[in-house]
Amino acid sequence: MDEKIQVVIVTGMSGAGKTSAMAVFENMEFQCIDNYPVMLLEQFGELLKTSNRYSKVAMAVSLNDAINAIRIFSNLDWINLAIVFLDAEDSVLLTRYKFTRRVHPLLIWNRASTLTEAIEFERKIAEPVKKMANIVIDTSHLNTPKLQETLERYFAIGQKAPFRISFVSFGYKHGIPRDADLLFDVRFLPNPYYVEALRSLTGNDKAVYDYVINKPETQEFISRLTDLLDYLFENFEKEGKMHLVVGIGCTGGQHRSVTLANYFADYYSSRYQVHRLHRDADH
């Protein structure tokens, strides 16, 4: 076999968007399989080796079966395995279930008595699976086109997905990004909010950017953090992680975090595929 077969396991919290994600993979010309019996996965893996029919497969797998499925496909050297874990905030999952009037699987199986209890219990089940994932996507604020755009960045047709880094600025007052792999708190830096001429601007504006970047504390922070990120990025890529989300937070997500996210996104864009998101800059 000249090229490895791309297999993507799609799993995550119930209500986080597995059905929508599978529709995206179908549009990207993946062979899509939903809830294939886990006891037959080894035979299916062997079939992939001997058949020329499949080159890209996306499989929706329940959390109960995810660890076994990952172990099986991880041991097949003719498969290039990616694990996508879809997550969402508890409040968003509650809203989605109430809006669609669907019943949570754990309620159907009598493993929980309320929707809130079901989500809490499932999150405990999900934790070890989430740690095994190459890609974690928080769909709390993603509509279907944005989810499609996100998945297409990872699984471009006919290409092996490169190691990608997302720098996300945020405000601690609005909560920590659920899908962040690394978090850095820059609230110790001088705050442009207290400069009246800069208060209504953001780190996307040159005046704020220059104010933050040129502070001695910022320069020392950049020097120290760059050394750490160089080391982390190199080793995460070697370990096989496909996507790393670096969260940089300040109080409101307007000034310092935006400035530093922009700085590091620009700095690493010549070496990696970089995406930047200013989650709270418009709040």
Annotated binding site: 12-19
Which residue has tokens 């058949």? 51
Question: What is the token pair recorded at 112?
Answer: 């929980």
Phi, psi for residue 277 in degrees, rounded to 5: -140, 125
> What is d(CA 227, CA 231) in angstroms, rounded to the nearest whole number?
6
In terms of residues, how long is the chain? 283
Phi, psi for residue 6 in degrees, rounded to 5: -80, 120
Q: How many CB atoms within 10 Å of residue 212?
A: 26
CA nearest to 122, candidates 36, 22, 9, 12: 12
Which residue has tokens 């040129």? 214
> What is d(CA 155, CA 9) in angstroms, rounded to the nearest whole number?
13
- Enumerate the known binding-site residues for ATP: 12-19
Which residue has tokens 């970089």? 274
> What is d(CA 102, CA 152) in angstroms, rounded to the nearest whole number?
28
> What is d(CA 176, CA 179) in angstroms, rounded to the nearest whole number?
9
Which residue has tokens 């886990």? 38
CA nearest to 18, candidates 59, 50, 52: 59
Q: How many CB atoms within 10 Å of residue 257?
A: 33
Helix (H, G, I), strand (E, B) or coil at 266: helix
